[in-house]
Amino acid sequence: LPLPASRMEEGERSPLLPQDTTGQKPPLSVSSPPLPSHPDPAPREGQAGAWGCSCYPPVTKDGAWTGDPAPPLPAGSSCIKYLIFLSNFLFSLLGLLALAAGLWGLAVKGSLGSGWGRPLPADPMLGLVLGGLAVSAVSLAGCVGALCENSCLLRCFCGSILAFLVLQAMAAALAAALWGPLQDGLEHALRVAITHYQDDLDLGFLLDQVQLGLQCCGVVSYQDWQQNLYFNCSSPGVQACSLPASCCIDPREDGASINDQCGFGALGLDAAAAGRLVYLEGCGAPLRQWLRGQIPAVGTSVIVATGVQGAELLLATWLIRALAVRRWAASRPT
């Protein structure tokens, strides 16, 4: 009897079923995801792994994500990490504070409005701005590098600390070698400040602080103020033959505020009469003596600053070595 039409002969397969013959691949189903035409490139191990600059999660040699977090640092290295972070965070705050104070000083005096393309203003606040910018940038590099365990930032931090140490050593050597000429240049600096007393507010402020603190007037004597265009006795102005209030023995005259007219007419008096109103001795010799007395304090400050920078350098080097050891241990085949 013939088989029904719905029955298939032996050995026949339905065309709807996948063919599993040799040399043929079954067709993809509708629900299966498409295969990628180009495989993902494998990461270059010699670039990011050597410097520790990679911010990507760990991968295998085939380029697949492992999903495993980096192993934690030992307890001692973790303490060093957070010590570097906290110390540099404080230094970065101090640097930013100095930067803000310098910018505020430049803005108040109008030095920031000089326009682009012009030379930088010769202002003491500019040094405060540059110093605050350098300290804050280096401290932020150490702070972020320690917190994120980034060897690149830590290496930049170590290089900046070394540059600071070299600059400090050069400055100390120059100050020791040129100590004599520096002392001789004090009198010239004081005479320049007297000449430009009304023209440069910064020089005027510094000279007032020197005369008030050392209780002196002028460079060699109070008659050195004759070099000032406004205080000279031949000047037609109201300040002729006068002295600034910082030269007066009692500038406040038992009052709450300083009397700016306490030195009026003092240059026209003889030494005995002027000695009852103003200081007669100049500031050259007292200033040199004061600077000699500040050498121990300055030396102590330099030693402390160098010690802090050296400690930061050693701690950062230790952390870089700990990160390198961890990367080496993670890259070993298990």
Q: List pLDDT tens digits, range 297-331.
A: 988 999 999 999 999 999 999 999 988 888 887 77
- What is the rounded distance in angstroms from the CA atom of residue 235 to the CA atom of residue 22? 115
Residue with token string 């290089």: 159
* DSSP per-residue letters across 74-118: PHHHHHHHHHHHHHHHHHHHHHHHHHHHHHHHHHHTTGGGG-TTS
Residue 76 has pLDDT above 50, yes or no: yes
The better pLDDT of the pair 98, 41 is held by: 98
Does the residue 295 lie in any domain?
yes
Residue 2 has pLDDT above 90, yes or no: no
Angle at 50 between CA 45 and CA 78, to 5 degrees: 120
Q: What is the mean pLDDT of residues 10-28?
A: 47
If one counts the domains in the chain, the total is 1
Please report which confidence band the pLDDT of residue 69 belongs to, taking 50, 70 and 90 as the band edges: low
Please report which confidence band the pLDDT of residue 239 belongs to, taking 50, 70 and 90 as the band edges: confident
Does the residue 208 lie in any domain?
yes
Does the residue 104 lie in any domain?
no
Please report which confidence band the pLDDT of residue 73 belongs to, taking 50, 70 and 90 as the band edges: confident
Q: What is the mean pLDDT of residues 147-152?
A: 90
Instruction: State both tokens at 222.
Output: 């109070």
- What is the rounded distance in angstroms from the CA atom of residue 148 to the CA atom of residue 160? 19
Does the residue 319 lie in any domain?
yes
Q: What is the mean pLDDT of residues 69-75?
A: 68
Does the residue 300 lie in any domain?
yes
Q: What is the mean pLDDT of residues 120-127?
A: 69
Query: What is residue 126's predicted lDDT score, i.e. its pLDDT?
Result: 84
Q: List pLDDT tens digits, range 170-200.
A: 998 998 888 888 888 888 889 999 999 988 8
84's CB contacts (< 8 A; 6+ apart) are 142, 143, 146, 312, 315, 316, 319
The better pLDDT of the pair 133, 12 is held by: 133
Please report which confidence band the pLDDT of residue 47 belongs to, taking 50, 70 and 90 as the band edges: very low
Average pLDDT for the chain: 78
Q: What is the mean pLDDT of residues 92-112?
A: 84
Domain CATH number, residue 212: 1.10.1450.10
Please report which confidence band the pLDDT of residue 57 belongs to, taking 50, 70 and 90 as the band edges: very low
Query: What is residue 49's predicted lDDT score, i.e. its pLDDT?
Result: 43
Residue 104 and residue 126 in contact, taking contact as beta carbons nearer than 8 Å: no
Question: Which alpha helices (DSSP H) does the chain contain, by range?
Answer: 45-51, 75-108, 124-147, 151-177, 179-195, 201-214, 271-274, 284-293, 295-331
Instruction: State both tokens at 145.
Output: 């590098």
Does the residue 43 lie in any domain?
no
Q: List pLDDT tens digits, range 196-227.
A: 998 888 888 889 999 999 999 999 999 999 99
Please report which confidence band the pLDDT of residue 334 belongs to, taking 50, 70 and 90 as the band edges: low
Does the residue 154 lie in any domain?
yes
Q: What is the mean pLDDT of residues 37-63?
A: 45
Q: List pLDDT tens digits, range 249-302.
A: 888 766 667 777 888 888 888 888 888 889 999 998 999 999 889 889 988 999
- What is the rounded distance in angstroms from the CA atom of residue 281 to the CA atom of residue 270? 14
The better pLDDT of the pair 171, 121 is held by: 171
Q: What is the residue range of 155's domain?
A: 149-331
Does the residue 59 lie in any domain?
no
